Amino acid sequence: MMSIITGIIEYLVNMIIYVIQVSNYPGIFFLMFLEGLLFPVPSEVVMAFAGYLAFTNQLPTLLNIPAYVLVLIAGTVGNAAGASAAYAIGMYGGRPAVLRFGKYIRLDDKTLDKTEKWFSKYGEISVLVTRLMPIFRTFISIPAGFAEMNFKKFLLFTLLGTVVWDSILIYLGYLLGAKWKDILGLFNDYTYIAVALAIIILIYVYRLLSKGFSKKASQSK
């Protein structure tokens, strides 16, 4: 059984490598779009490999913009586009449509229940925090759509979380170099990093929002 799983992972990694090598930034955008739309495309592999290519001058620059910046833009925008599509499915299709769609993308009742409970417990800020957590980071778009969360806020939180997540992966690709595939064994350590960053960002966003509310209150007096 383990050999079958290993074979599947190896095949998936090789497919990701092929797509990026053939199409560069459009390939990164497409793969991250699929990940945002809940397809089993690991962003860890996509962005780490792309980061490795960027820092070893194997990706082209555009308008003097460094390759690693272009990788970040392609990955983040692609993921946000996919997440927005998943949000729309949740908002307009409801649970029945999600479950019909979900059978093709590893989303079942149990996973959907977990993400719904998470969103109900922590509210809209969970969209930002969950973007920094492996596995569940993509699923949060569905309950946000169910709840008809303000789309502009959803998109903002998605972009913020994805920028941080993708930046870490790109940097890890740079650090690991030719051994970038070792990232597959870093998931446990990675989780602690992601959670720590989530807490920092959450505090920062909370302070910004608090200042904004205080300013509005003082102006209305």
- Model-wide pTM > 0.95: no
The residues, ordered by sequence, that sit 6+ positions from 75 with a Cβ below 8 Å of its Cβ are 28, 29, 32, 43, 46, 47, 50, 162, 166, 170
Tokens standing for 138? 């993509």
Q: Are residues 74 and 32 in contact, defined by beta-carbon separation less than 8 angstroms?
A: yes
Percent of the chain past pLDDT 70, that is, above it, reads 74
Q: Which residue's structure tokens are 């092929």?
A: 18
pLDDT mean across residues, the chain: 79
Note the residue count of the chain: 221
Query: What pLDDT is stored for residue 63 in this prediction?
Result: 85
User: Has residue 74 got a pLDDT over 50?
Assistant: yes
Q: Could you give the 3-state DSSP secondary structure of residue 45?
A: helix
Query: What pLDDT is stored for residue 197 in this prediction?
Result: 52
Q: Are residues 87 and 144 in contact, defined by beta-carbon separation less than 8 angstroms?
A: yes
DSSP state of 87: H
Sign (positive/negative) of CA torsion 86, 91, 95, 101? negative
User: Has residue 142 got a pLDDT over 60?
Assistant: yes
User: Has residue 166 got a pLDDT over 90?
Assistant: yes
User: Has residue 2 got a pLDDT over 60?
Assistant: no
For residue 151, count CB atoms less than 10 angstroms from its CB and return exposed for 0-12, middle for 13-18, buried for 19 or more.
middle
User: Has residue 145 got a pLDDT over 50?
Assistant: yes
Strands, DSSP E only, in the chain?
none
> For the packed helices 67-88 and 2-36, what is the interaxial angle rounded to 10 degrees?
90
pLDDT tens per residue across span 168-201: 899 988 888 877 777 666 554 444 454 455 555 5
Query: What pLDDT is stored for residue 61 in this prediction?
Result: 86
Q: Are residues 32 and 51 in contact, defined by beta-carbon separation less than 8 angstroms?
A: no
Query: What pLDDT is stored for residue 191 in this prediction?
Result: 46
Pick 130 or 80 by higher pLDDT: 80
Q: Could you give the 3-state DSSP secondary structure of residue 62?
A: strand
For residue 197, count CB atoms less than 10 angstroms from its CB and return exposed for 0-12, middle for 13-18, buried for 19 or more.
middle
Query: What pLDDT is stored for residue 167 in this prediction?
Result: 93
